Structure 1
Amino acid sequence: MDALQEILYQVNRSMPNFKEKSSLYTWVYRLGSNVCFNFRKKRNQTANQVEWDESLYHSMMLPIEQPNEDPDRMCEVKYKQYLVQQAILKLPENQRILLVLHDIEGISSSEIAQILNITINAVKSRLHRSRVALRNIISKGFSVKGMEGVGTFSVNSSGHLR
């Protein structure tokens, strides 16, 4: 809530400086991400450790493609989505940010480049490395605390989850 309040304050205070060189969405997203990074930095300096608010990622679910699907199949799909989310949490922050922005939030590479203040080519290469790292985490297998006996998944030769 403190970060949200600070973001709204910064947007209100900085709106006269908005030059329309990018979309308003990108500008606000960049401002918001800077505020959040600063909040995290302050928190990490006092805590001396990185702690992720996993509840944010637990609520991040991809839509089920066929809502009238067999309930068992729907549970299997939901479980695989949950495992992918847990695998994403195992990525380093810089890789996780790119995957979340591009693959989950659907933000374009050019907008991500503006938000993170890097080139589009850097976004594309880092995104590729992030996906490879995620694929490696998934293919090696891992367990989720409290769900060790529920089941596992693997990646087939074409790179799709089984």
Structure 2
Amino acid sequence: MTGTTKTAGTPEAESSRHVSFHGDAELARRAAEGDTGAFGLLVARYQRPMAALISRMTRRSDDVDDIVQELFLRAWRGLPRFRGESQFSTWLYRIAVNTAIKHKQKSKSELLQALPTEETGGGLEQLKASEETDPVTQAQRGERERLLRDAVMRLPEKQRVVVQLHYFEGKSCEEISQIIGCSVGTVWSRLHYACKRLRSVLGESF
């Protein structure tokens, strides 16, 4: 056969199939050396979580794809400087947060729109009290969720970022400290004052 198709069982096909099993660090190393296939696998792994994060931070659903594209372009350009001192995911989250903040600075007039409901399921459980499921309570909960999302977006940016990363993204304070480049104590402090501020705005029932 003279064709160039990668037939199952050939070294080329086996290499392509096995690369998907490599961890982030190995794929990042390959990508930094110019392996676009390795970078494509990293994009495939992180595209959805990055899109969800950016959607929550910017609340501009029409622009999410463009911002995600900018994020991965910045990551691709920055990979030669990635030394593996933190996990690749932490490094990527840092770029995502910075990209989203940069974008928001260009569109401050739209910061107070409500977050999409489907993007926030399970967030900020520690600030919610009701666990009942009857229709009336469900309706009340929906309104509470809306008020909560609006209140989160009214937080000062530094507090809002740690709230979103901790409660919506499930990141630990240690991870957040690496993502935003501050001490763990600073993260705890921002979370404390953010929750205190939310309760003062929304009432103790939250």
Provide the TM-score with structure 2 as the length reference. Answer: 0.57
1:72 maps to which of 124, 136, 147: 136
1:103 to partner: Cα distance:
1.5
Residues 87 and 37 from structure 1, CA distance in 2 versus in 1: closer, same or farther, beyond 3 angstroms? closer
1:94 aligns with 2:158: yes
Kindly report structure 1 stretches of 4+ aligned residues shifted beyond 6 Å: none
Q: Secondary structure of the equivalent of 1:54?
A: coil
Counterparts of 2:97 and 2:120 in 1: how far apart (Å)?
A: 21
Counterparts of 2:103 and 2:133 in 1: how far apart (Å)?
A: 42
1:131 to partner: Cα distance:
0.8
Question: Does the CA contact (< 8 Å) of 1:89 and 1:96 recur in 2?
Answer: yes
Counterparts of 2:96 and 2:120 in 1: how far apart (Å)?
A: 22
Q: Which residue of 2 aligns with 1:14?
A: 78
1:102 to partner: Cα distance:
0.8
What is the correspondence of 1:8-87 to structure 2 with a 5 Å cutoff?
A: 8-41=72-105, 43=106, 49-52=108-111, 54-55=113-114, 57-59=115-117, 60-63=119-122, 69-87=133-151
Aligned partner of 1:11: which letter?
A: A
Question: Does the CA contact (< 8 Å) of 2:176 and 2:187 recur in 1?
Answer: yes
1:54 to partner: Cα distance:
2.4
Report the RMSD for the aligned CA atoms in angstroms. Answer: 2.7
How many percent of aligned residue pairs carry the same amino acid? 29
Contiguous gaps of at least 5 residues in structure 2: 1-64, 126-131
Max radius of gyration: which structure? 2
Residues 53 and 132 from structure 1, CA distance in 2 versus in 1: closer, same or farther, beyond 3 angstroms? closer
Deviations 1:39-89 (A, max 9, x none): 333x25xxxx5431625x233333499xx9323322222222222112212
Deviations 1:98-138 (A, max 9, x none): 11111222111011111111000110111101111111111
Counterparts of 1:82 and 1:71 in 2: how far apart (Å)?
A: 17
1:133 aligns with 2:191: no
Question: Does the CA contact (< 8 Å) of 2:151 and 2:198 recur in 1?
Answer: yes
Provide the TM-score with structure 1 as the length reference. Answer: 0.71
Residues 24 and 93 from structure 1, CA distance in 2 versus in 1: closer, same or farther, beyond 3 angstroms? same
Counterparts of 2:112 and 2:69 in 1: how far apart (Å)?
A: 18
What is the correspondence of 1:86-125 to structure 2 with a 5 Å cutoff?
A: 86-125=150-189
Counterparts of 1:112 and 1:131 in 2: how far apart (Å)?
A: 16
Mean alpha-carbon deviation: is it higher for 12-21 or for 116-125? 12-21
